[in-house]
């Protein structure tokens, strides 16, 4: 999912600002995620195994400001100030939802339509040749 300011999650549970590479806008080890413009909220697990949440984060995609919270209570209190209802989903689910953009569809169409049109012209040419002979 690419935000207007260039924030993009990658395959490895990592959110990075691809335009400015601001260190404060980088969130690693994300396991749960929710996108609510202009915010991205979620849970972080720093261990290599397990699905428990060590920290929660609130990332403003417009300013690049990231806030980390060590407890669920502090995190939900901060979300209430922004009137955000957390409905976290696994990182992979959210990533798949926002992965394909209009540009990806345009490239796919460009890879399919011109060869198909060329094929139709060849078929039409062959049909005309057979009719003439």
Beta bridge partners of 58: 41, 67
CA distance 112 to 17: 32
pTM: 0.66
pLDDT on residue 11: 39
Collect all residues with Cβ–Cβ distance below 8 Å to 47 and sequence separation of at least 6: 54
Q: pLDDT tens string for the chain (133 positions)?
A: 444 444 454 434 777 766 666 666 678 888 889 998 889 999 888 776 667 788 999 998 888 888 999 999 999 999 998 898 999 988 888 888 877 888 999 999 999 999 999 999 999 999 999 998 7
Residue-range domain boundaries for the chain: 7-99, 100-133
Q: Give the distance from CA 105 to its chain's centroid.
A: 15
How big is the chain, counted in residues? Answer: 133
């Amino acid at each position: 999912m690419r935000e207007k300011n260039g924030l993009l999650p990658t395959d490895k549970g990592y959110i990075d600002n691809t335009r400015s590479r601001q260190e404060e806008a980088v969130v690693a080890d994300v396991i749960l995620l929710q996108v609510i413009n202009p915010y991205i909220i979620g849970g972080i697990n720093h261990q290599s195994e397990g699905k428990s949440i060590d920290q929660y984060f609130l990332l403003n995609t417009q300013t690049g400001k990231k806030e980390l919270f060590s407890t669920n209570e502090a995190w939900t209190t901060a979300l209430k100030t922004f009137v955000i209802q957390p409905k976290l989903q696994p990182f992979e689910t959210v990533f798949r939802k926002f992965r394909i953009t209009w540009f990806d569809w345009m490239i796919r169409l460009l890879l399919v339509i011109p060869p198909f049109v060329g094929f139709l012209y060849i078929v039409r040419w062959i049909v005309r040749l057979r009719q003439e002979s």
